[in-house]
Structure 1
């Protein structure tokens, strides 16, 4: 296949084609064939969930493929794409492989990735209406619909699109600070995501008070004591789907305590939020609608390419603190004339139309399809727990709430567990996480691939057993 444009020389230059416009599709078509072939070839050559050899080997392969970062004369589109995409695919930790299960790192749906390509080609910038007419309308409609899922009785539910759970948590604390002032005291469980503490630091708020979570969920008695002792404005951050175990805090009881003590409630449902789509599991989120702010993240249990976060509120007026004016983007007379004002939709200025891939997924799968995917991976986690329970050489931490399973060889030390995990990584056999619970170190399997089978799980547990007995 010839290159879509002539490689420039010292005397002749050819302008590369653009992705957008009427001719954009024709320019992309041959390049996409190259990219798709390279993705397949890289994954085939890798052969497993990640490349063997460890950081130095991977870096050496990438260095060899990259060669000169900025050559005097370019190699052309086909060669550059084929070489570097193949190298990236070969050196990837592939979340689509059933033994890649360390993190909340989902294999994106093909339809969502295809929609993301369209967003990249059209390149709307979501900071002024005249750069994103249709995308801004789509974002408004979809975010309001999703916020209605979290706050069905809210007076005017709305949501902001974010880069993920970390930004959503940061915005939640920012909005609370703007309402209550800089003395706002955050209270969270020991099971809370690290971004809660980091957001308080970035915003100049007091260090959060950490409440014990001895069994993975926030201790209600300890929370009641803390709220009784503290004075001044309070924000309680609860979690629906912890990073380590997938546990869900007792949301209704926490909401009751917040009401009793006049505290604001934020719920980080970055992991567990999509249980709302499941008819059989949505009851686990009872109490979610009582939060002032809710973090969602659809590049976890929503199977979206990064990024696909949201921050939902029951009333759009709660977002007014983010309003901002830049005369070249949202002058007052344009706003009065009816042009939508987008700067208050994010602390970022330039941002991608990440809502498109979400909208395509919602339309294509519907509530039933998404709920089926959620149920499928949660059921897969139960299968893994069953396998561990039946294996006399493995210990199970607890039955999974979502799709995360903690387990470990019965007689292994913490040092052996840590070393075995790195051994699996170095040999390219499996990508498993690690978590401390009950005073011990555990393997963490976060199962987000709906195509994972019981046979895959049996192989995974055998790999763990073999790695800890070497």
Structure 2
């Protein structure tokens, strides 16, 4: 029986640990039962069924009820497990969202029970030092030296935001030094500066780059998109042309390269862009949120040649890395560029405590209270090891290559291109006997049909077709190294069956 109300205990206390054992049995039982109930990566029923499931689990009551209920806790566990997307299912190929290792999940539980934070030494001394050492090792992964620094963040978008924050302060500190807005931007602000900041990124860059420009006061219009080739890779010559054409008041803040685009998994030409950034003395930020997986593979690692010349690198280990979200990282080649984040708070990191070695990580992050994400990352890395990480990345790459080969051979499916990492883009093509009026709407409906029936979770995107118009395409994202070729064949059979059923019914959902 789960204790509730006044009998509920704090997790770290002896009586709380006993309650936790009971709750863990309930939770693990819910996970096992859910796998049997689902049948696919998600229960059938679509959005209406998901809404109804939440209402049923709550029993029509409020979250903060007058009378706590052990049964409602059990119902909540069971419903959450049942309606969670099963990331271990071979047909869950919609998102860059991995299933975590058992070790990292156990570490997540321990971290939750102990609830350490990184904003003051006494809030988590081991957690603080663990992150410092992990950041140091990860900096060596990308080729940075001892002067590097970094931090863990809630996600790739925040890592990109922080990278551009550092680049903004670096690029604009001494610009327009005689104006009313001169000096460090984090202190003096942008008002009064007679300049137009510019951020260069590819047309295939992640949307978080433009959003970060808005958050940082530069404005989304400060982002200049550089043309790409047919696989979404930035054209370095075009970047050079744009830089050469800037007016005197246009100040380049950063050149953002993408290592692993969300669609093709393409890598911008890092050596060429690093040389260009050095020539123009521009901050080079590399968004490797997805592409960092290549680093672990001896075969794919050359895709990241030139990464060591970046000023900052963002990447996620809740994609390739098999740790629970959030496990994102920002690395900076020169730790001095993080000085703009430095903050003294007399109740958190007083100077005499810091001088005595009781140092915190308040000055490396946008956050104050911050969880110990390094713990679960360390647990996963220690469990899988470098060779294992490489083998898992290679397995996902091989699954994508197999899927692409099968798609190219199946009548009614059109492959866009061979996969570069672990994404596969394709579209369904209607048979001559059953023409479809709007093929984009039909492809989108195929995806929704598979989701609503709980048979498969696919991604979608838009790719410009031969007619020059963007068309809806479907996308498979392989991050599960245990998926078999037979399971991929079964997934493609489900996709073609759903396409045929919709075409024959002449119904677009």
TM-score interval (norm. to shorter): over 0.9
2:119–2:348 Cα contact (<8 Å) kept:
yes
SS of the residue 1:428 aligns to: coil
Gaps of 5+ in 2: 173-189, 191-195, 431-435, 466-470, 502-509
Counterpart mapping for 1:4-23 below 5 A: 5=3, 7-8=4-5, 13-14=6-7, 16-21=8-13
2:171–2:282 Cα contact (<8 Å) kept:
no
Look up the match of 2:238.
222
| 1:213 lines up with 2:207 in the alignment | no
- Aligned equivalents of 2:155, 2:496: Cα separation in 1: 35
Give the C-alpha shift of residue 71 in structure 1.
2.5
- Aligned equivalents of 1:92, 1:221: Cα separation in 2: 46
Residues 191-214 of structure 1, C-alpha deviations (whole Å, 9 max, x = no match)? 100000000001111420011224
- Aligned equivalents of 2:131, 2:15: Cα separation in 1: 26
Look up the match of 2:344.
325
| 1:157 lines up with 2:164 in the alignment | no
- Aligned equivalents of 2:150, 2:322: Cα separation in 1: 19
Look up the match of 1:422.
448
Give the C-alpha shift of residue 318 in structure 1.
2.1
- Aligned equivalents of 1:141, 1:25: Cα separation in 2: 30
- Aligned equivalents of 1:108, 1:81: Cα separation in 2: 24
Counterpart mapping for 1:440-451 below 5 A: 440-451=471-482
- Aligned equivalents of 1:80, 1:18: Cα separation in 2: 19
1:165–1:309 Cα contact (<8 Å) kept:
yes
- Aligned equivalents of 1:155, 1:107: Cα separation in 2: 33
Look up the match of 1:189.
202
Counterpart mapping for 1:59-458 below 5 A: 59-67=51-59, 68-69=61-62, 70-76=64-70, 79-152=71-144, 154-181=145-172, 182=190, 183-206=196-219, 207=221, 208-215=223-230, 216-230=232-246, 231-411=250-430, 413-439=439-465, 440-458=471-489
- Aligned equivalents of 1:359, 1:23: Cα separation in 2: 29
Residues 246-292 of structure 1, C-alpha deviations (whole Å, 9 max, x = no match)? 11111111112222222211100000112211122111100111110
- Aligned equivalents of 1:464, 1:44: Cα separation in 2: 22
- Aligned equivalents of 1:159, 1:90: Cα separation in 2: 38
- Aligned equivalents of 1:162, 1:44: Cα separation in 2: 35
Look up the match of 2:507.
none
- Aligned equivalents of 1:328, 1:423: Cα separation in 2: 55
2:200–2:252 Cα contact (<8 Å) kept:
no
2:171–2:283 Cα contact (<8 Å) kept:
no
SS of the residue 1:294 aligns to: strand
Which range is displaced more, 346-355 or 41-50? Answer: 41-50
Give the C-alpha shift of residue 393 in structure 1.
2.2
- Aligned equivalents of 1:279, 1:38: Cα separation in 2: 39
Residues 171-218 of structure 1, C-alpha deviations (whole Å, 9 max, x = no match)? 001011111225531111111000000000011114200112242111
Alignment length (residue pairs): 459
1:148–1:158 Cα contact (<8 Å) kept:
no
- Aligned equivalents of 1:394, 1:302: Cα separation in 2: 31
Which range is displaced more, 283-292 or 408-417? Answer: 408-417
Give the C-alpha shift of residue 41 in structure 1.
1.3
Give the C-alpha shift of residue 309 in structure 1.
0.3
Give the C-alpha shift of residue 159 in structure 1.
2.0
The two structures have a TM-score, normalised by structure 1, of 0.94
Give the C-alpha shift of residue 446 in structure 1.
0.5
Distance verdict in 2 for CA 1:22–1:320, change over 3 Å? farther
SS of the residue 1:233 aligns to: strand
1:424–1:467 Cα contact (<8 Å) kept:
yes
- Aligned equivalents of 1:21, 1:296: Cα separation in 2: 37
SS of the residue 1:467 aligns to: helix
1:184–1:235 Cα contact (<8 Å) kept:
no
SS of the residue 2:284 aligns to: strand
Give the C-alpha shift of residue 438 in structure 1.
2.9
Gaps of 5+ in 1: none
Look up the match of 2:504.
none
Residues 138-184 of structure 1, C-alpha deviations (whole Å, 9 max, x = no match)? 111111101111134x3422221001110000000101111122553
- Aligned equivalents of 2:475, 2:136: Cα separation in 1: 35
Give the C-alpha shift of residue 342 in structure 1.
1.6
1:18–1:27 Cα contact (<8 Å) kept:
no
Which range is displaced more, 27-36 or 225-234? Answer: 225-234
- Aligned equivalents of 1:388, 1:256: Cα separation in 2: 39
Give the C-alpha shift of residue 23 in structure 1.
5.6
The two structures have a TM-score, normalised by structure 2, of 0.87
Give the C-alpha shift of residue 21 in structure 1.
4.6
Give the C-alpha shift of residue 52 in structure 1.
1.4
- Aligned equivalents of 1:233, 1:239: Cα separation in 2: 17
